[in-house]
Chains A and B, each alone.
Chain A
Amino acid sequence: MLRIKNLKCGYGRIMAIQGVSLSVRQGELISIIGANGSGKSTLLLAICGLLKTWDGEILFKDNDLKGMSPQSIVRQGISMVPEGRQIFAPLSVMDNLKMGGYTMYRKGLKKQVEQDLETIMDMFPILRERQNQLAGTLSGGEQQMLAIGRALMARPSLLVLDEPSMGLAPKIVEMIFATIQGLRQEGVTILLVEQNARAALKIADRGYVLETGKMVLQGSAEELLVDDDVKRAYLGKDYGNFYDGRD
């Protein structure tokens, strides 16, 4: 579904992504894990057309995304829930959701937009409850649900999530992950970037490990969860200083 080869991009002279290849197949849930500043968000920005230029190849359903505007990429079927959620605080919950359905609306699929609104408010009852409230007054967890709901309004075939658990209480994180898993079971293909590596790998089919703009490891979630390197760096286990290496 999504196939990236040798992607290079960055900000001016900073090469944040240095030749990354990655793929997501129909129906998969893929997690990308990596430390702060390793380039996870940059990679997602490139996929969604939010970086002006990049080198390499990004194919989505066999279409080359090079040069496409963010809007046309949404029309291709990729929706992103950006880092820090970025909902429109001064707008109501309802209006935020409707904005997510904008491309559908423009296609004249008004009926479907109405229908999707219902589905999403069924999925997140709290959003129905607060539909007329200003989005800025929602709690962090509620805002995250709104951000996911808004992305789903575009009926994406690929949902891209950038650290949905960031800054949320453990209970809420659990709920968000359950939601993601639920979406996946409904057939949404998902690309998930997370700091919370263990939780992200537990629900994933496969994972990739990004390190300073380079992919250093990938494999089934099962393989990555037992990998000592991954454990040490991302799963918060400290092994102390054993005899460390050669010579």
Chain B
Amino acid sequence: MQQMKNLTVEEKNQLKLERLQSTLNRAYKSVPFHRNRFIEKCMLPENIVSLSDIERLPFMNRSHLGLHYPYGLFAVPLRDIVRIHTAPGTGTNPSISGYTKTDLMIWQKLVARSLEAAGVTSMDILQINLPPGLANWGRDYKDGAENMGASVIPNSPLSLAKTLMVLRDYKTTTLVTTLAFAEQLMEHMFENERNPNEFNLKRIVLVGEPVGVEQIKNLEEHLHVDVWLNYGLSEIPGPAIAFECLHHCGMHINDDHILPEIIDPVTREVVPPGQTGELVLTTLSARAFPLIRFRTGDMARFTYNPCECGSSLITMDWLAERADTMMIISGIKISREQVIIYLKDALEASHPRCKLEKIRHGGTEILSISLVIDDSLFSDEIKNLEKLMVSTSERLAELTGVPVKITLTEKKD
């Protein structure tokens, strides 16, 4: 699919301005939240006359998504919505996003674009292996790959052995997965002295978190594959916001549909070109769920060297650090605050002392919580306490979308 390749810079900017303006018109017209924010600034959508005018608008962040639970940020009536996605959110409510038919159509094209850039064609067999918390992305990759005519093995929860069997017997050429699973695959093959050439696997598309050069090289060497990174948001609006092309010159952002900015997370000002900061995204074509200056918490920097692939899409480096305190577990963003609020509630403890960590168990990443037993907890019977821990970790796993393990530790004075 064309990535605005044959457009001049002026034509491209014109297109983005047009889309931005109609997005703002729709948001103003249909979403009280957005309208009120314009009114608070004594502004109208028509005051945004250039792309950089977007800096005059306020930011959105994850907490807004929960506050307007469930449908408060939708810009079309429910009858126009054909799909509803749920993500954990950061507070007591999950965040919900919706898609119209047209939205899904555009997402399919964007996913197809990112897969094509990784060399996937209609001849490929594409297998999706993502944790339950990223099931939304699984569907998007399936739709996008089907749309371009590839054979898709959709995401379904299988054991490692079964997954490997499918990978080998079905002659999978392309695997869409997380770093954790890809590394587990690599370790498993290494331990079992399996030759990667038994497989037809040509490439791995990694999603969910920034991955270092060393880790990628390691995977490529041991699995005899090419590795491609895709950037997405797990809550909204989808998995293929940015992607690597054949030249691996950073990540191309689909900025004809999603307008990126980079801001200083402290001053909230747009940083000078090329500097590092927090990635802020504005949707340009989304009908159902417009985002206006959404703070992702992800750190990035724009790179300005033109790519050999000829794409005129903006390119960024996706960096490992974060602008917020969220943890990424198997590609899923977890809010520490949300977990602690939940623990407070469940344990009836006003200040639970705990440490949250990401640990890896096989190909699965786990949210590990070590909880300090204090007097209030200790007064309980051990049996009850165990029960409480089991039920709490189950509920937390449901809330966050990742497995949770709670361990109790002694109070150290």
Q: Which residues of A contact B (CB under 8 A)?
A: 3, 5-6, 8, 18-19, 21-23, 25, 211, 214-219, 222-224, 226-229, 239, 242-247
Q: Are B102 and A214 touching (Cβ within 8 A)?
A: no
Chain B nearest CB from A130 CB (Å) reads 42
Chain B nearest CB from A235 CB (Å) reads 13
Q: Are A216 and B22 touching (Cβ within 8 A)?
A: yes
Query: Cα distance A211–B11 when bound, in Å?
Result: 24
Task: Specify which chain B residues have a CB less than 8 angstroms from the CB of A243 in the assembled complex.
Answer: 78-79
Task: Specify which chain B residues have a CB less than 8 angstroms from the CB of A229 in the assembled complex.
Answer: 76, 80, 287
Which of B21, B49, B80, B105 contacts A223, CB < 8 Å? B105
Q: Are B106 and A23 touching (Cβ within 8 A)?
A: no
Query: Cα distance A245–B70 when bound, in Å?
Result: 11
Q: Are A218 and B71 touching (Cβ within 8 A)?
A: no
B100 CB within 8 Å of chain A: yes
Chain A nearest CB from B99 CB (Å) reads 12
Query: Cα distance A219–B80 when bound, in Å?
Result: 17
Number of A-B residue pairs with CB-CB distance less than 8 Å in the complex they form: 85
Which of A23, A218, A223, A226 contacts B22, CB < 8 Å? A218
Q: Are B14 and A6 touching (Cβ within 8 A)?
A: no
Q: Which residues of B contact A (CB under 8 A)?
A: 10-11, 14-15, 17-19, 21-22, 25-26, 29, 45-46, 49, 71-72, 74, 76-80, 100-102, 105-106, 285, 287
Which of A217, A228, A244 contacts B26, CB < 8 Å? A217
Which of B10, B77, B101, B287 contacts A244, CB < 8 Å? B77
Query: Cα distance A227–B17 when bound, in Å?
Result: 21
Q: Assuming A19-B46, A222-B105, what are 13 further A-B pairs, CB within 8 angstroms?
A: A23-B14, A216-B22, A216-B29, A217-B22, A223-B106, A226-B101, A227-B102, A228-B80, A229-B287, A243-B79, A245-B71, A245-B78, A246-B78
Task: Specify which chain A residues have a CB less than 8 angstroms from the CB of B285 in the assembled complex.
Answer: 219
Which of A18, A22, A217, A219 contacts B46, CB < 8 Å? A18
Task: Specify which chain A residues have a CB less than 8 angstroms from the CB of B29 in the assembled complex.
Answer: 211, 216
Query: Cα distance A229–B287 when bound, in Å?
Result: 10
Which of B18, B80, B105, B106 contacts A218, CB < 8 Å? B18
Task: Specify which chain A residues have a CB less than 8 angstroms from the CB of B19 in the assembled complex.
Answer: 218
Task: Specify which chain B residues have a CB less than 8 angstroms from the CB of A3 in the assembled complex.
Answer: 10-11, 14
Task: Specify which chain B residues have a CB less than 8 angstroms from the CB of A246 in the assembled complex.
Answer: 71-72, 74, 78
Q: Are A23 and B18 touching (Cβ within 8 A)?
A: yes
**23 A-B interface contacts by CB (under 8 A):** A19-B45, A21-B14, A21-B18, A21-B21, A22-B18, A23-B11, A23-B14, A23-B15, A25-B11, A214-B22, A214-B46, A215-B22, A216-B25, A217-B22, A217-B26, A217-B287, A218-B22, A219-B102, A222-B105, A223-B102, A226-B101, A227-B287, A228-B80
Chain B nearest CB from A228 CB (Å) reads 4
Which of B49, B77, B100 contacts A245, CB < 8 Å? B77
Query: Cα distance A228–B72 when bound, in Å?
Result: 19
Q: Are A228 and B76 touching (Cβ within 8 A)?
A: yes
Task: Specify which chain B residues have a CB less than 8 angstroms from the CB of A224 in the assembled complex.
Answer: 102
Task: Specify which chain A residues have a CB less than 8 angstroms from the CB of B21 in the assembled complex.
Answer: 19, 21, 215
Q: Which of B11, B72, B76, B80 has the most CB of A within 10 A?
A: B80
Name the CB-closest residue of B to A225.
Answer: B102
Q: Are A214 and B78 touching (Cβ within 8 A)?
A: no
Task: Specify which chain B residues have a CB less than 8 angstroms from the CB of A217 in the assembled complex.
Answer: 22, 26, 287
Query: Cα distance A223–B105 when bound, in Å?
Result: 8
Task: Specify which chain A residues have a CB less than 8 angstroms from the CB of B77 in the assembled complex.
Answer: 242, 244-245
Name the CB-closest residue of B to A244.
Answer: B77
Q: Are A216 and B100 touching (Cβ within 8 A)?
A: no
Task: Specify which chain A residues have a CB less than 8 angstroms from the CB of B15 in the assembled complex.
Answer: 23
Chain A nearest CB from B259 CB (Å) reads 15
Task: Specify which chain B residues have a CB less than 8 angstroms from the CB of A216 in the assembled complex.
Answer: 22, 25-26, 29
Chain A nearest CB from B16 CB (Å) reads 10
Task: Specify which chain A residues have a CB less than 8 angstroms from the CB of B18 in the assembled complex.
Answer: 21-23, 215, 218
Name the CB-closest residue of B to A57.
Answer: B49
Chain B nearest CB from A48 CB (Å) reads 20
Task: Specify which chain A residues have a CB less than 8 angstroms from the CB of B79 in the assembled complex.
Answer: 228, 239, 242-244
Chain A nearest CB from B290 CB (Å) reads 12
Query: Cα distance A21–B10 when bound, in Å?
Result: 13
Query: Cα distance A244–B21 when bound, in Å?
Result: 25
Q: Are B78 and A242 touching (Cβ within 8 A)?
A: yes
Query: Cα distance A218–B71 when bound, in Å?
Result: 24
Task: Specify which chain B residues have a CB less than 8 angstroms from the CB of A21 in the assembled complex.
Answer: 14, 17-18, 21
Task: Specify which chain B residues have a CB less than 8 angstroms from the CB of A219 in the assembled complex.
Answer: 102, 285
Q: Are B101 and A228 touching (Cβ within 8 A)?
A: yes
Top 8 closest pairs, chain A to chain B, by CB:
A19-B46, A228-B80, A242-B79, A246-B71, A6-B49, A21-B18, A215-B22, A244-B77
Query: Cα distance A246–B46 when bound, in Å?
Result: 26
Task: Specify which chain B residues have a CB less than 8 angstroms from the CB of A247 in the assembled complex.
Answer: 71-72
Q: Are B101 and A227 touching (Cβ within 8 A)?
A: yes
Query: Cα distance A227–B285 when bound, in Å?
Result: 12
Q: Knowing A23-B11, A245-B71 are in contact, say whether A5-B26 is a contact too (CB < 8 A).
A: no
Query: Cα distance A228–B10 when bound, in Å?
Result: 31
Name the CB-closest residue of B to A15.
Answer: B46
Name the CB-closest residue of A to B31.
Answer: A246
Chain B nearest CB from A98 CB (Å) reads 37
Q: Which of A21, A22, A244 has the most CB of B within 10 A?
A: A21
Task: Specify which chain A residues have a CB less than 8 angstroms from the CB of B101 in the assembled complex.
Answer: 226-228
Task: Specify which chain B residues have a CB less than 8 angstroms from the CB of A222 in the assembled complex.
Answer: 105
Chain A nearest CB from B4 CB (Å) reads 11
Chain A nearest CB from B9 CB (Å) reads 12
Chain A nearest CB from B228 CB (Å) reads 27
Chain B nearest CB from A233 CB (Å) reads 12
Q: Are A227 and B11 touching (Cβ within 8 A)?
A: no
